[in-house]
A and B are shown apart, each in its own frame.
Chain A
Amino acid sequence: DTAVSQTPKYLVTQMGNDKSIKCEQNLGHDTMYWYKQDSKKFLKIMFSYNNKELIINETVPNRFSPKSPDKAHLNLHINSLELGDSAVYFCASSQSPVSNEQFFGPGTRLTVL
């Protein structure tokens, strides 16, 4: 059984396009996250939602817009894609906002051409 799933696994697109990545968790967790991992493996948080409410919003361009329709889903929409957006995006979830154990999805590798 998949705990945290993301779709698609790979996404190749042209600069300027708009794309979305979907994330779902079946762990019954209250908190979900989006992370970006660059080519040097550096992992940085972008957003965090708790019970559908935004609680962490890092310094991320407003071209990135997360949406949480319910606490089991956290989607990431990206407008006007740029070359620098190429990275692996990970969704994660945790029982609460103060849990150190976060469960990560398999990642979505985004390539912007």
Chain B
Amino acid sequence: GESVGLHLPTLSVQEGDNSIINCAYSNSASDYFIWYKQESGKGPQFIIDIRSNMDKRQGQRVTVLLNKTVKHLSLQIAATQPGDSAVYFCAETGTGTASKLTFGTGTRLQVTL
């Protein structure tokens, strides 16, 4: 079946450095790709999404890049802070009312001081 997956299960980054979290997807028919952040003991929290007809979108300290040629999605976090420590999930979805979020396996980001 189609799936969304991540290359690295754990990423360790020093405070102040930039982080790059990667995701590979297989469903080329997806309309949106989304990043969620899940802190320990909490539910996932929406970060940013990107439509399939775009290749870059920026938010506050975050940038999402979409490369449809190689079916690759990445989340860049600038000046990583301790509060960024969490598990990050990529997800994909369509646009119909019965569309669902299909989540990837998650990458744990550890920010070291």
Contact = CB atoms under 8 A, between A and B. Distances in A.
B60 interface: no
A43 B42 contact: no
A101 B44 CA distance: 10
The 9 closest A-B CB pairs, nearest first, are A104-B43, A101-B46, A97-B97, A43-B103, A100-B49, A41-B106, A45-B100, A100-B34, A104-B44
A50 B87 contact: no
Given A43-B44, A104-B43, A107-B43, A98 B95 contact: yes
A45 B42 contact: no
Interface residues of A, number: 24
A51 to B, nearest CB: 11
A60 B105 CA distance: 20
Interface of B: 32, 34, 38, 41-46, 49, 87, 89, 93, 95-103, 105-106
Contacts of B101: 45, 100, 102
15 contacts: A43-B89, A43-B103, A44-B103, A45-B102, A50-B97, A55-B98, A92-B43, A97-B98, A97-B99, A98-B99, A100-B101, A102-B44, A104-B42, A105-B43, A106-B43
A106 B44 CA distance: 9
> Looking at chain B's contact residues, is the secondary structure mostly helix, strand, loop, or mixed?
loop
Contacts of B41: 106-107
Contacts of B38: 41
B87 A41 contact: yes
